[in-house]
Structure 1
Amino acid sequence: MELPITGVLDELVRTLSAHGSTVLVAPPGTGKTTLVPLALEGRVVVAEPRRIAARAAAGRMASLLGEPVGRTVGYAVRGDRRTSKDTRIEVVTSGLLVRRLQHDPELTGVGTVLLDECHERHLDADLLLALLLDARAVLRPDLRLLATSATVAADRLAALLGDAPVIRVEARTHPVGTTYLPPLRRERVEAQVVRATRRALSEVDGDVLVFLPGVAEIRRCAAMLTDVDVIELHGRLASATQDAALRPGPRRRVVLATSIAESSLTVPGVRAVVDSGLSRVPRVDHRRGLAGLATVRVSAAVADQRAGRAGREAPGHVYRCWPEHEHSTLPRYPDPEIRTADLTRLALELACWGTPSGEGLDWWDAPPKGALDVAHTTLRALGALDRGITDRGRRMADLGLHPRLARALLDGAKLVGPRTAAEVVVLLDNDRAAEGVELKAGQADPREVSRLAKLVDGRERPSPDAQALVVALAHPERLARRRSPGSPLYLMAGGTAAELPPGSLSDAEWLAVAVADREPGRAHGRIRLAARASEELARQAAPALLVEEDDIGWDGDVVAERKLKLGAITLSAKPLRTPEATRAALLAGLRAEGVGLLRWDQDGLRTRERMAFLHRVLGDPWPEPDDEALLAVVDLGTARRRADLARISGEQVTRRLLPWPAAGRFDDLAPDRIQVPSGSRIRVDYSGHDPVLAVKVQEVFGWTDTPRVADGRVPVVLHLLTPAGRPTAVTGDLASFWRTGYPKVRSELRGRYPKHRWPEDPMAAPPARR
């Protein structure tokens, strides 16, 4: 078969034999997945990122040899294997090869491992690459590694493989025209895609391949395209149904696919591609404990790959569902899953490998430490990790499931039976909930259910809560209780609030939430898939989350309760009446609302201001009478509630801060009142930066020395008042005021206040209060 890859096969085999590792850069459709393995010598294992791609590649290679699958070329994916003693080339998924490597790090008998579609940066593929490099460095230096990529960003990959040679192949592609179809106002993505699909059917001959983000969108589009043959292609379909989409149909078809059809396989007959521009990728919100799939814009590289599907066999056309000016804003490449996904499964595999932190391995991108720490916490809670991997952890890893689902299968089989537990686990292992929000039986692949049921022990036990129990075993932190009667909001044990859409579960007090997510900008999450639960079930499924704790605090008044909680959910509460609890709650209130809750009269406020003044001016030993200092010395006595705090004198609390023996000089250093020449004792205002004495002009006739406080260090600022008590002058230098300021004051005020004395010589006039 003459494909672009044919011209470099001999060079590729020689280079790989000489160097032990090679990077092959070749676009889709060049034959790298099917012709290269056949040209390699010895036993070859091909690692594909997806099960459908593994089966399709094996089938294509077998057909080129004129043989059935399972003879020279075979495959192995989870739950399905077709190989024989004659099999020389085996196509497997990356995750399955990781498991095989864990049990046989030397990969006995294997001469070459081909890592296909490395550019997709799936989590299993990145982990597999790191483990293979480690195994080759320590155990199998003769193991040949060939990495293929559809993009030109191969330098980092070549460096990881030991400065491996890079061989590039140019594809002889057919021309592909491009039309941009931006959405109409308020148009949903499904309506937009259907509009583009109908245009493609009217303008281009051949089948139409439509890329949508997920199964829900595929089903909604299929319901709108009732007048054409519609084929679905996604990861939740049975193998036979997936494989049928890769065979030509008797009539023109519209193939509605997820990203599963982007590379590694060819959908025959396609002449047009409709690209929604969206993809569903793993994302995890560590703070809220929500891990799942998020809908994101595709990268430019993915958009180009999707468009290339239209030109595999003949000239074609791509219809892009976004404005042309937005194309330049797309990210260049997709984010590697290792940066954004839940790393619990990866952490379990690293623990099985003997390096839980992943240190010492050569990574394309190392796993983020924070996400790995969260994964380790989860594994310890599941009993899979202690100081190292536990026997239970190895058992969970061998099941080939996410550790949470492995725990649900192992423990659920003992509680409700292997088949019931397996059915729920299969449903949870899908990439998205089925139609509706309520988890329902009968939707799981019976073949996969049977396979998993055989892996665990137990006997079937009829239980109306079986589904909820298995869900809760997988996600105990997602057990949820309604916040208030009639409310659609539920509080999950992990502390996250989530909204339940209207439907059959609307009357449920408790839920076991299987799938929940949170859209950016929303205050709470959204429940996508759940089962009806109960408090009894929650206690049974999540005993580790049951804690009894004292809730002592302040909510406008004293809160002192002993609570039984399931994570963040309060199951019961009893009042705590101990003096220690009451004191802690009152102090919490004073910290929250301030010491203004105490009784503060004018004397108390002034005492606090005087002490603050001495602290600012003199420093030690005079303390700062801030809230924290006052809280440290407050005597709550018999106070039990908010109202009792208003009976505690703030002045008495402040005076407890006075340092001894310096406290004896408090009134001398910061006197509350100063006697003026008239004989009046007038209060000093310490509320501002400088102490202020407000006094009528007639009371200080003859006074030349400005009063000073703090051992004479700070002059008191005089606010000289009119007979009516209004300020007429401000001075810190009385002698200067009498010379220059007083004549002006006298001329302005003696006509206004003729009954008061305004002598020409204030220094000779006797002071008077009136």
Structure 2
Amino acid sequence: MGRHWLTSDLPELPDLPIRPVLGEIADTLTAHGSAVLVAPPGTGKTTLVPLALDGRVVVAEPRRLAARAAAARMASLLGEPVGQTVGYSVRGDRKTSKNTRIEVVTSGLLVRRLQHDPELAGVGTVLLDECHERHLDADLLLALLLDARAGLRPDLKLLATSATVAADRLAQLLGDAPVIRVEARTFPVDIAHIPAVRRERVENTVARAIRQALSEVDGDVLAFLPGVAEIRRCAALLGNDVDVLPLHGRLTTTAQDDALRPGARRRVVLSTAIAESSLTVPGVRAVVDSGLSRVSRVDHRRGLSGLATVRVSAAVADQRAGRAGREAPGRVYRCWPAHEHSTLPRYPEPEIRTADLTRLALELACWGVPDGSGLGWWDAPPPGALDAGRTVLRALGALDDSGSATDRGRRMANLGLHPRLARALLDGAAAVGARQAASVVALLDDDRSNSGVELAVRDADPPEVRRLAAMVDDPPTRKASDPALVVALAYPERLARRRSPGSPLYLMAGGTAVELPPGSGLADAEWLAVAIADREPGRTHGRIRLAVRADEELAIKAAASLLTWEDDVRWDGDVVANRLRKLGAITLSSKPLHDREAIRQALTDGLRTEGLGLLRWDADGLRTRERMAFLHRVIGDPWPAVDDESLLAVVDVGDARRKVDLARISGEQVVRRLLPWPAAARFDELAPDRLEVPSGSRVRVDYSGSEPALPVKVQEVFGWTETPRLADGRVPIVLHLLSPAGRPTAVTGDLASFWRTGYPQVRSELRGRYPKHRWPEDPMTARPARR
């Protein structure tokens, strides 16, 4: 089908599973322009395929260590040093020459190169390695390459590789690209489960499994732990009988290379997820898998972001296990119960769904598509997270009002740092000098190098500091050296002030409460510039991971854009009325505020919150409200409701300023403001306050119940045969007939019926008890009496 790579000047390549299909891969790319290669780790897809492709090839790796290792392996196959035919470029390190045909780069670096040269002039093929890992930079790179290929470079060949079989969506994105599958020739791997015992830390479980592996399996042991801290603690638990070598992305090049070379003694390699794929660790016969990985997470609501420890997916667990069977039969020791394996997620969560998207938002703005629309995404960035990223960028001056990248934003992007750190480096260099700013930024970019909660500039990596310092201008006259200023420039909303004297709780300018862990050495600090804070599930506030002392003057200088004057007028058990000077959510100063209208609203809010009982209510006022409520209930229009909401609408607080002033306002006067004129002229007629009874007494009507009631002694209503009615005869009054001592004897709404049937029993029961009172046989003709 055209090209035959075996006729080239390449030396004999290793007999790896990928070798028989190298010609097919090259021919497929020539015919279709794109392809997906599905091949497990160890098949040679990373190192043999680029050598078999014509023209200039760029290989994109998700990690720096994998990029350097892949270049070194390919160069050794050619019998050349790195930098000749095969070279690499990663952040802070590059080995290429004019003879370099195959260049291995990190995904993030290729994004930057693509931004400057969308045509990728001179490049014939881009190989996107380990796409299944779904790193944020790799997903973005794929989207930008597809966009460039659709417009400027239709001839650019794209080859995407994946170690898992979930390649259908990837092939679709590449234009229904052909999928080439290669099976690995692996040795059998036994699986053993060594779960943690009660409250055992992960490094202790892994160390226990490593000791068992060393006693049961010959060869080296590769152990996967979630992060650098766990690697350090696990190494301290192991003895000196074997060489214990860490392997993670922040090691020096020499230390990383040591972990990838066979040793004279048995080795235990303690690795993060970096060794899951792309890399081959020779001599490994046993794998110990903690079952955990550390991934980026962000809490947009609280403004907290960082690394979270999560369970690995089943696909990742299988990849890790496969490391034990690359060269000979092996064994994997999984540090979780066997029955839990089926509960693992199938594939890892794409980073684009959970990570901070501020840097992605800046790259999209530089590409000219701020919202990412129109690009071919494996998974599109969540709109909320992308909006949050753009909000940060506008605050940093990286975006204009239209969402386009400013000149400052493009300069920040060119630094290859997170936009927050780029801002800290640019503005920090002008304030404290390039070297000092670079030292702090180097630490913030690698928080794991810091030994405690308090940021220590002495821990910064010197080569990285020199590299960063060289990228920015150094002012001729340096100002005071203050690492807190640089931290605050990166994270102005994380400036924090102690909530109360002696308290470990701080309030960040972004509004989130965070706690300082004991023994940090910062317990007496009034202000902190917080670099890293996170929040554990179930906790109400965050936890400070990395911070440095600050003060109010520094906070105002670093976060001037967060300074505001705010009128705080509200009801909090009483009227609060102050003018506040604030740094975000932090109150710097307060003075009384005299805003008449705002205070009136606060008093109204107080009445709504605590009820109209705050007004002055006497018995007459309560009865007036009850009488009007009665008329609204039985007649309706025009008689209005007198519930709290209706009364609140007509309350006039006048000159009141405090809660105590409300008690001077008559509740009855508020009710009477709702009287409907001219109908109100009949108020006393329709709902009389008192009724005259046959004895001549004027008895007060009780409107507090569901029906109006008249409590009156029996002797006072002798001769009264018709039950009185209210509201133009609509409602009969209920008579509560009392004994001479004022105790209830009967309740009736039909007086005539009561005289006939009820009174004889009452007379029989009470005339012996009250012999001095009259108890006539015929009450309907008897003369009423008050006494």
After superposition, where does 1:559-598 map in structure 2 within 5 Å?
A: 559-598=576-615
**Match for residue 373 of structure 2?**
359
Aligned equivalent of 1:58: 71
Structure-2 separation of matches of 1:703 and 1:168: 106
CA distance in 1: counterparts of 2:326 and 2:733, whole angstroms: 92
Taking the aligned partners of 1:752 and 1:317, their CA distance within structure 2 comes to 102
Return the alpha-carbon distance in structure 2 between the equivalents of residues 609 and 169 of structure 1. Answer: 87
By how many angstroms is 1:522 displaced?
0.6
1:236 is aligned to 250
Distance in 2 (CA, whole Å) between partners of 1:541 and 1:684 is: 71
Whether 1:654 and 2:671 are equivalent positions in the alignment is: yes
Q: Is the 8 A contact 2:492 2:558 kept in 1?
A: yes
Which residue number corresponds to residue 440 of structure 2? Answer: 424
Q: Cα 1:509–1:764, aligned 2, differ >3 Å: closer, same or farther?
A: same
What pairs with 1:32-181 in structure 2 (closer than 5 Å)?
32-181=45-194
Cα distance between partner residues in 1 of 2:650 and 2:122: 78
Q: CA RMSD in A?
A: 2.5
**Structure 2 spans left out of the alignment, 5+ residues:** 1-13
1:499 corresponds to which letter in structure 2? E
Residue in 1 aligned with 2:418?
A: 402
User: 2 CA distance for matches of 1:3 and 1:743?
Assistant: 116
Instruction: State yes or no: 1:192 paired with 2:201.
Output: no
Shift of 1:13: 2.3
Q: Please show how residues 739-754 of structure 1 align to structure 2 within 5 Å.
A: none
**Secondary structure at 2:18 match in 1:** helix
* Aligned amino acid, residue 603 of structure 2: L
Q: 1:677 to 1:23 in 2, by over 3 A?
A: farther
* 1:534–1:716 CA distance, 2 compared to 1 (3 A): same
Paired amino acid for 1:115: L
Q: Secondary structure at the match of 1:637?
A: coil
Is this contact kept in 1: 2:276–2:319, CA < 8 A? yes
The code of the aligned residue for 1:83 comes to T
* Alignment partner of 1:224 is 2:241: no
Report SS of the residue matched to 2:458. coil
Choose the corresponding residue for 1:542, options 533, 545, 559.
559
- 1:196 and 1:274 in contact (8 A); partners too: yes
1:469 aligns with one of 482, 485, 490: 485
Change (3 A) 1:112 1:727: farther
Alpha carbons of structure 1 residues 285 and 708: separation in structure 2 relative to 1, 3 Å: farther
Distance 1:76 1:346 in 2: 21
Matches within 5 A, 1:653-692: 653-692=670-709
Question: One-letter code of the match for 1:189?
Answer: V
Counterpart Cα distance in 2 of 1:195 and 1:245: 21
Q: Which residue of 1 aligns with 2:318?
A: 304
C-alpha contact (below 8 Å) 2:431/2:479 kept by paired residues: no
**1:681, distance to aligned residue in structure 2 (A):** 3.8
Shift in Å, 1:687: 3.8
> By how many angstroms is 1:736 displaced?
5.4
Aligned-residue identity in percent: 80
2:536 aligns to what SS in structure 1? coil
- Structure 1: distance between partners of 2:421 and 2:539: 28
Contact between 2:132 and 2:162, CA under 8 Å: does it hold in 1? yes
Once the two structures are superposed, the pairs formed by residues 442-591 of structure 1 within 5 Å of their partners are: 442-459=458-475, 466-501=482-517, 502-591=519-608
Residue 500 of structure 2 aligns to a residue whose secondary structure is: coil
Structure 1 range deviating more: 429-438 or 717-726:
717-726
Q: Does 1:343 find its partner at 2:360?
A: no
Inter-partner Cα distance in structure 1 for 2:305 and 2:479: 28
**2:438/2:468 contact within 8 Å kept:** yes
Name the TM-score, length of structure 2 as normaliser. 0.92
Deviation larger for 533-542 or 42-51: 42-51
**Within 1, Cα distance between the matches of 2:485 and 2:413?**
22
The secondary structure found in structure 2 opposite 1:377 is: helix
Q: C-alpha displacement at 1:476, in angstroms?
A: 0.3
Is the Cα–Cα contact under 8 Å of residues 418 and 460 in structure 1 kept in the other structure? no
Cα deviation for residue 572 of structure 1 reads 1.2
- Pick one of 32, 41, 44 that aligns with 1:28: 41
User: Are positions 1:245 and 2:262 aligned together?
Assistant: no
Pick which of 656-665 and 128-137 moved more.
656-665
* Counterparts of 1:311 and 1:752, CA distance in 2: 107
SS at match of 2:328: coil
Deviation at residue 431 of structure 1 after TM alignment: 5.2
**What does residue 635 of structure 1 align with?**
652
Change (3 A) 1:624 1:412: farther
CA distance in 2: counterparts of 1:71 and 1:689, whole angstroms: 98
Unaligned 5+ segments in structure 1 are: none
Give me the whole-angstrom Cα distance separating, in 2, the residues matched to 1:433 and 1:631: 61
Deviates more, 1:135-144 or 1:729-738: 729-738
State the match for 1:328 in structure 2: 342
* Equivalent in 223, 227, 245 of residue 214 of structure 1: 227
**Cα gap change, 1:600/1:353 in structure 2, threshold over 3 Å: closer, same or farther?**
same
- Return closer, same or farther for 1:190/1:715 CA change in 2, 3 Å cut-off: farther
Moved more, 173-182 or 653-662: 653-662
Q: What TM-score do the two structures reach when normalised by structure 1?
A: 0.94
Q: Matched residues in 2 for 1:107 and 1:520: separation?
A: 45
1-structure distance, mates of 2:74, 2:145: 25
Instruction: From 640, 645, 661, give the equivalent of 1:644.
Output: 661
Matched residues in 1 for 2:175 and 2:662: separation?
Answer: 73
Distance 1:29-1:754 versus aligned 2 partners, 3 A rule:
farther
Name the SS of the counterpart of 2:336 in structure 1. coil
State how many pairs are aligned: 770
Alpha-carbon separation, structure 2, partners of 1:131 and 1:198: 47
1:77–1:96: 8 Å Cα contact kept in structure 2?
A: yes
Please name the residue that 2:5 is paired with. none
Shift, 1:717, TM fit:
4.5
* Aligned pairs (5 A) from 1:223-302: 223-227=236-240, 228-302=242-316
Structure 2: distance between partners of 1:749 and 1:10: 119
Q: Matched residues in 2 for 1:421 and 1:587: separation?
A: 52
Structure 1 pair 617–298 and aligned structure 2 pair: CA distance change class (3 A): farther
The amino acid across from 1:270 in the alignment is V
More displaced 10-residue stretch of structure 1: 533-542 or 78-87: 78-87
Indicate conservation of the 8 Å contact 1:423/1:441, yes or no.
yes
| 1:365-384 equivalence runs, <5 A | 365-384=379-398
Secondary structure of 1:389's aligned partner: coil
| Worse-superposed segment, 199-208 or 609-618 | 609-618
CA contact (8 A) 2:436 2:481 kept: no
Asked if structure 2 preserves the Cα contact closer than 8 Å seen for 1:415 and 1:461, the reply is: no
Q: Return closer, same or farther for 1:358/1:685 CA change in 2, 3 Å cut-off.
A: farther
Distance 1:569 1:760, change over 3 A: same
Do structure 1's residue 611 and structure 2's residue 613 form an aligned pair? Answer: no
Residue type at the aligned position of 1:469: L
Alpha-carbon distance in 1 for matches of 2:151, 2:633:
68
**8 A Cα contact 1:420 1:460, kept in partner:** no
How far does the alpha carbon of each residue in 1:15-38 deviate from its partner, in whole angstroms, 9 at most, with x for none? 222222222221111111112222
Deviation of 1:737 (Å): 5.2
Change (3 A) 1:639 1:258: same
Q: Is 1:601 aligned with 2:615?
A: no
**Aligned-residue offset at 1:451:** 1.5
- Deviations along 1:508-548, whole A, 9 cap, x unmatched? 11110000000011111110001111111101101111111
